Amino acid sequence: MGAGVIDADYRGPVGLVLFNHSEADFAVKPGGHIAQMILQVIATPKVAEVEDLDATVRGEGGFGSTGV
């Protein structure tokens, strides 16, 4: 089973396709768990365009400067 994306305005049934890559049979039993759905909020934030950024001490060192 792979991941997929369902359009935000879709209102029909949702199904899935299972691929058995094993030589052994696989049975889906009633009540068995075979997949999960993750609901993701898609937000479009407001963007403000500026001429220059204010100076800060944050981010002065660049990548790897914290030693972590």
Per-residue pLDDT tens for 8-62?
A: 889 999 888 888 899 999 898 999 988 888 888 888 999 999 998 887 777 666 7
Please state the pTM of the whole predicted model.
0.42
What CA–CA distances, in Å, run from 3 to 11, 15, 36, 64?
A: 19, 12, 10, 33
Contact of 16 with 1, CB cutoff 8 Å:
yes
